[in-house]
Amino acid sequence: MKILITQQEAVDKGIWPQIMQWFGRDEEDEVWPGEEFILTETQAKQAGLIR
């Protein structure tokens, strides 16, 4: 299973720092609120998005 999340959703859920780390992003990188990231089932569980 793959989970799709936007940058804005990740910020709203408080998991943006974790997403940044997984995808090799840092504060200087330009990211749009609607930019989408595909998480594995394991990542989604670690982020608390699914059980």
Three-state DSSP at 38 gives strand
Tell me the pTM: 0.89
Three-state DSSP at 28 gives coil
Q: Tell me, what's the pLDDT at 4?
A: 97
Q: What b/e string do you get for 8-34 counting C-beta neighbours within 10 Å, with b at 16 or more?
A: ebbeeeebbebbbeeeebeeeeebeee
Q: Tell me, what's the pLDDT at 47?
A: 97
Ranges of residues in the chain with a pLDDT under 70 are none
